[in-house]
Structure formats: structure tokens, C-alpha cells
């Protein structure tokens, strides 16, 4: 599978802009609604966003550092790596969201959260949009990033963007499902 780099960055930018806009609408909801859980062991809306913020706290500085230290030139097409394509694909929301186990440090269940979580998510989405712009000037295949579970494993920058943004999309669907059940 090969995709135009410009098309990929446009798709990821569009998704991120939607996530940013959607998060803005969540600021209008009362905090008790944002902290509502469908079940005792499920996440609230704020816990979903806190989970994404925790990943953002790793990936945004990592992506930023790799872009700023990259000495590569952009390439017209992007070919995903085997591992990166698998990770990114597994994050895409499906008809029925399959449950996935999360790392202990990334699990926000029973955290005391308020709307600051949404503001942090909004800031992270703005940073992601800025990084997607900067990514136009580097090679998305040759520029590599570490991943949150192991610094020894690296992914192509294009795959890392896909993983992070598709992961966000997955939890936006989860948030929509929570809102439908309130």
C-alpha cells in the first residue's frame, strides 16, 4: 500500500480538526455528565480524554523532537511499515468497538478530573496540527519515532501520526457512545 504524502497529511489534519472541534463542544457539558460512567469499570468522557492526554504527553514531544532533528527531504508517497500499519489499523474505530487492554500508567479510571482535561486535549490537538504542517518538510518514512511501550521499537513518522490520530478517533467514538447512554 502506497499513499500520497499530501493526501495522508490532509486526512490526518482533517481528523484532528474534527477532534478539536468536538472537544470544544464537550466544554459546554456539565461536569457531572462528563464524569458519568455507563458501568463501574468503564471510563467517563473525561477519563477517555485524560487517557488520550497521557499518550499525547509522550507522542507530541517525541514527534516534535524527531521532526526538528530530521535531516530528510519530503517524499511524494508514503509506504507504511508492517508494524506501524498494524498498530494504526488496530486503532481505527470499527462498527462495534472492541475492548483493548491499556497500560497501567495510561489508565485514568477513578481519577478526579475536571474540564481542565478538555482544555489540555484541545491544546494537544493544536500542537498536533502544527506538527502535521511541519511534517510536510520531512520524509515520513525515514524519520522514525520511539513508541510509548518501548524506546527500542521505532515506527515511521507517518505511521506514528496515524496511530496517534486513529487512537484519538477511536476514543471520540467511545465518547459519542457514552453521550448516547446518558
Q: Where are the domains of the chain?
A: 3-180
DSSP 3-state of 73: coil
Residues 32, 30, 15, 83, Cα dihedral to 10°: -20
Give me the count of residues in the chain.
182
Is the domain defined by 3-180 classed in CATH 1.20.120.450? Answer: yes
Say what the pTM is.
0.94
Q: Which of 106, 120, 124, 122 is nearest to 54 (CA)?
A: 106
Helices of type H across the chain: 5-26, 31-34, 45-68, 82-91, 116-134, 157-180
Kind of pairing between the strands at 150-156 and 144-147: antiparallel
Residue 149 has pLDDT above 90, yes or no: no
Least confident of 13-27, 88-102, 155-169: 88-102
> Do 44 and 122 contact (CB within 8 A), yes or no?
no
* Per-residue pLDDT tens over the stretch 49-76: 999 999 999 999 999 999 999 999 999 9
Amino acid at each position: 500500500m502506497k499513499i500520497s504524502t499530501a493526501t495522508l497529511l490532509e486526512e490526518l489534519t482533517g481528523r484532528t480538526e474534527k477532534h478539536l472541534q468536538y472537544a470544544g463542544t464537550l466544554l459546554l457539558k456539565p461536569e457531572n455528565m462528563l464524569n458519568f460512567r455507563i458501568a463501574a469499570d468503564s471510563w467517563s468522557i473525561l477519563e477517555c480524554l485524560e487517557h488520550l492526554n497521557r499518550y499525547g504527553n509522550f507522542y507530541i514531544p517525541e514527534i516534535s523532537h524527531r521532526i526538528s532533528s530530521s535531516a530528510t527531504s519530503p517524499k511524494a508517497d508514503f509506504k507504511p511499515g508492517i508494524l506501524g500499519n498494524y498498530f494504526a489499523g488496530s486503532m481505527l474505530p470499527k462498527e462495534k468497538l472492541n475492548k483493548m487492554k491499556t497500560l497501567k500508567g495510561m489508565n485514568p479510571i477513578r481519577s478526579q478530573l475536571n474540564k481542565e482535561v478538555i482544555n489540555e486535549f484541545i491544546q494537544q490537538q493544536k500542537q498536533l496540527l502544527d506538527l502535521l504542517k511541519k511534517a510536510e518538510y520531512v520524509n515520513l518514512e525515514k524519520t522514525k519515532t520511539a513508541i510509548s511501550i518501548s524506546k527500542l521499537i521505532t515506527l515511521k513518522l507517518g505511521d506514528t501520526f496515524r496511530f496517534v490520530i486513529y487512537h484519538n478517533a477511536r476514543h471520540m467514538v467511545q465518547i459519542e457512545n457514552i453521550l448516547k447512554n446518558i
